[in-house]
Amino acid sequence: MEALRKIFAKTKYGDKVVMAPFSTKMEGRVAEFTHLLKNTLLSSISIPKRNDKGSLLMLVDHCFPIKGKGTVTTGTIVEGSVKPGDEVEFPLIQ
């Protein structure tokens, strides 16, 4: 990992890049790696506080049509919340 840190030090990311070590020799230890990756990510990010009450406000990033299924929409929820089974309406803005 130190060799990678030296490479990153020469980039805009610097030498403080958070890394989760992984090896193909960990085959069969997926749960262990998943736990390590989750903990690494959670220790290096901050989850912004938002109001999860009230109406859903979502900033739409992309929409992908899936033939025979419908459209998949991705984005960021700024306010409110949604759970499986909730009906969500995206108004058409012209």
CA 72 to chain centre: 16
- CA-to-CA distance for 85 and 67, rounded, in angstroms? 21
pTM greater than 0.75 (yes/no):
no
Domain ranges of the chain: 2-44, 50-84
Mean pLDDT by 10 residues, the chain (94 residues): 87 85 77 88 85 87 92 90 88 76
> What does the pLDDT read at residue 68?
93
